[in-house]
Structure formats: C-alpha cells, structure tokens
C-alpha cells in the first residue's frame, strides 16, 4: 500500500510519521479521531490539513496495526 501524504524524516518530529512533511504526526490526528472529533473539526483545529490528509492518516494507522502483532488481553 502506498501513502502519498505520509512522510517520515529523521530530522522532523523525531522520525515519527507525519502528514505531508508538516509537524503534524499521524498519531496526533488518530488521537483526535479517537477522542470523537470529526474530520471537519480536525481540519478546523489544524488548518494546514485537508480532509484527505485525515483519511490517509487513518488508512496509515490501520495498515500499521495490521503489520504487527500486538499482545491483547483475552476475555472469557
């Protein structure tokens, strides 16, 4: 899967995946979504972003989780 809007630069934000080379980490955008913000609210809060940036951040996060095994607690 290719991500056009996600960049990783060792000199920017400690090498965290960011949106289009901006100082906006993907993790920040995902946290905002997780907190219940809408795409429109995120774009208003971070006006350098577009709705497409938010969607690609979510796709990137989904792919990142798919690519690694995480320890999960099983419930009975």
Contact between 57 and 6 under an 8 Å Cβ cutoff? The reply is yes
Q: How many domains does the chain have?
A: 1
* Contacts of residue 39, Cβ cutoff 8 Å, sequence gap at least 6: 51, 54, 55
Contact between 42 and 32 under an 8 Å Cβ cutoff? The reply is yes
Residue 18 pLDDT? 97
The reply to whether 1 falls in a domain is no
pLDDT confidence bin for 73, thresholds 50/70/90:
low
Average pLDDT over the chain reads 91
Domain of residue 10 covers 6-66
pTM confidence score? 0.85
The reply to whether 28 falls in a domain is yes
The reply to whether 58 falls in a domain is yes
The reply to whether 76 falls in a domain is no
DSSP 47: T
The reply to whether 37 falls in a domain is yes
The reply to whether 42 falls in a domain is yes
The reply to whether 32 falls in a domain is yes
Instruction: Say which CATH number the domain at 41 has.
Output: 1.10.10.10
């Amino acid at each position: 899967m290719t991500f056009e809007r996600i960049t990783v630069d060792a000199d920017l934000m400690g090498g965290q995946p960011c949106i289009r080379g901006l100082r906006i980490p993907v993790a920040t955008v995902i946290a905002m979504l997780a907190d219940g913000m809408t795409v429109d609210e995120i774009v208003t809060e971070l006006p350098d972003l577009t709705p497409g940036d938010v969607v690609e951040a979510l796709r990137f996060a989904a792919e990142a989780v798919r690519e690694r095994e995480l320890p999960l607690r099983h419930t009975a």
